[in-house]
Structure formats: C-alpha cells, structure tokens
Amino acid sequence: MKNNQAIEVNPSENVSTMNKLFSWVSVAALVYLVLVAVSTVSSGFKLFSGGSAGAEQIFAFATNPFVALLLGILVTALVQSSSTVTSVIVGLVAGGLPISIAIPMVMGANMGTTITNTFVSMGHIRDKQEFQRAFSAATVHDFFNLLAVAIFLPLEIAFGILEKIATYLATLYVGGNSLSIKEFNFIKPLTKPAVNTVKDIASSLPFEGNTVGLVMVLLGIVMIGFSVTFLGKVLKSVMVGRAKMVLHNAIGRGPVSGIMSGTAVTVMVQSSSTTTSLMIPLAGSGVFTTRQIFPFTLGANIGTTITALLAATSIGGEAAQVAMTIALVHVMFNVFAVALIYGIPALREIPIKCSEALARQGTENKFIAFGYVIGAFFALPGLMIIF
C-alpha cells in the first residue's frame, strides 16, 4: 500500500513571492517614470526659455558660480535628495541651462544631501557619548564634500577640467565618429508617448505660449520627486537587508573595501542619504568609529551618481551630449575627489579632525549642533543668494 504524501504549500511563501514580484515591477515602473519626468523637464524648459539664450537670462542671477553652488546646497537641503536635484539639473541642461551654471549646482547638491544623516544623528542627542560619536560620523560627510568643493570648484572655474573630460566621454557615448551609439538610443521612443501626454495635459490647462513649458517643468519636477522618493523606498524594502549585510562585512576591512561597498549599497538602494544614515546608529553605539565609516561614506558619494546617469539616458537628439556631460561631471567630481582627498594622508585627516572637533563642541553645547545644521544648510546659503 503506497503512502501518498500531500505536498503542502505555505501560503506565506506565496504572499512573499508576490510581494517581491510586485516590488520589482514597481521598480521598473518608477525607473520609467524618472526617464519620462526628466524628458518632460527638458522639453518644458526648452519651450519656456526658447533655447540657450533664454535659459541664460532666466538663470542670470546664478551666473556667479558661488551663487549656483549655494542654490544647489539650499534646494537639496530643502528636498533632502541629491538624486532628485541632479535629475532636474540634467533635464534643465538638456533644455538649455548652461553647463557652467549647472556644474556648481551639482557640487552644491553633493553638499546639501548630507543633511539627512546629520538629522539622524540628532536621535542620539540624549546620550552625550552616543551623540558625539554619531554627530562626528554624520558631519565627516559634510566636511569631505566641503573640502572637495574647495579644491575642485576653483580648478573648474580656472581650467574647466571636469567639463572637458566629461564632454570627451559624452562624445564617445552619443556623437563620436567611430564609437557613436546615438542611433541605438531606445529610451527616447519609449518615453516620447508619455512626454507628449504630459504636454497635452499642460496644453489643456488655461495657459498659453511659454507658460505651457513652465507647467511642464513643474509637472516634471513633481514627477521626479515622486518617482525618486518612492524608488528609494521600494528598493530600500527589498534591498536594505542585503545592504546592511554588505555594510557590516565591509566596514573596518580596509578603505578600498569600504569605498566599493559604499558605492554598491548606494546603487542598490538608490539613495546616498539612506546609505549614510544606516551607518549613524552603528557609530553612535560605538560599533564603528568615524575613521572606519569614512571610506564607506565616500563610496556613497560615488554610488549616488547613478541616478543622474540614468536620467541622462532619457535625453535624445542634440541635447543628448550636454545631458550626458553634466551627468558625467557628477561622476568625475566624486571619483576624483575620493582619489585625491583619501589618497593624500594630510587631506584625508582634515574631514575626520574637523568632524570630531565639531562633535565635541556640539556635545557640550547643543545650540552649536543645531546652529550648525540651520546655518550651514539653510540660513547661510539663503542669505548669500539674496545678497
């Protein structure tokens, strides 16, 4: 007599599989929305400004590179997402914004995004020792980006190094004589129907002429903010467990491992803020020191550039090269800054020493800590832009 054993299926496993499938479908949909949104900003800004000459007039107040830098800091601090800001910048450049204005704005976005992990460190404020460790680990990111801008912005103004390298690489991607893959850009045909739909919606509103372009820009920015925010959340839900595992395995195992892991984790969760914020509780509890966490933070800076690169692939036609150029400037800036600052011992110590000194002062006087956050990210940039 044969024993027929029934195969039991665990309902919870089916639910888990369906949830994962839904999450990855959501990721694909949100990536598509990012591409559509960036193309919408580009098309709308081109329509609104009337081309490069009009774009220069619109951003005449930011022709000073330091004003453009401060604008990037302020806007990113307000939206707490450098991915959103850099994606918008890619769209604006494709629509006619001069690269000379966009480059300092991208650098400012790098600085502004560090506010999130500084906020996370405030959660340890009740315990002096924990707060000192957490605040130091958070602000080391600030001081690194500040040092990177202090080095590379003057060099860029004087020699245009980043723009020249990025332009050459972008030419290979979209316009080189022998290596051109311009004709293989399948993104534009995929996004064009959706962009046209957004344009039709904007045109159906009671606006005329250039105002339709402005409405498209605003709709595109809202779409970018929505898609990037929820893309980060969905990826965080499916990848953060693996990200934490990578983080624990990498930190303290040498700078190269830390930088590469920080890059990988940030690409996985599509948010440098999430990556760096994961480290703050570990630093606050004393598991890792600021010095051990520092390389991982640098990797997060490199990893966050993937969003701008993704956004640039949505741009076709004559604007494709400049869009890819500004995205590659973001990559080059972060890669070169990590190689130079971490590669030279004297420079490597500056962010660590500064963050530890500020953390000591902030621990003794909490008003210094709060004043630093409000002043560095909001009050100072805002006032300097006004004046």
Domain residue limits, the chain: 30-386
Hunting for tokens 């919408």 — which residue is that?
40
Q: What Cα–Cα distance (Å) separates residue 188 from each residue in 148, 196, 315, 316?
A: 35, 12, 7, 6
Output the pTM of the full model: 0.79
The 8 Å CB, 24+ separation contacts for 118-125 are 118/142, 118/373, 119/373, 120/277, 120/280, 120/281, 121/280, 121/284, 122/369, 123/281, 123/284, 124/280, 124/281, 124/284, 125/366, 125/369
Residue 354's pLDDT is 95
Residue 139's pLDDT is 93
Block mean pLDDT (10 aa), the chain, length 387: 51 65 79 81 77 59 82 84 86 88 93 83 85 92 94 94 93 59 56 84 78 85 79 65 64 76 80 76 82 89 89 82 93 96 95 94 90 86 79
Alpha-carbon torsion 62, 65, 68, 74, what sign? negative
Pick from 291, 369, 300, 348: nearest CA to 132: 369
Hunting for tokens 């401060």 — which residue is that?
70
Pick from 273, 247, 294, 246: nearest CA to 136: 294
Q: Which two tokens stand for residue 269?
A: 């969760």
Residue 1's pLDDT is 47
Residue 268's pLDDT is 77
Residue 107's pLDDT is 95
Residue 167's pLDDT is 93
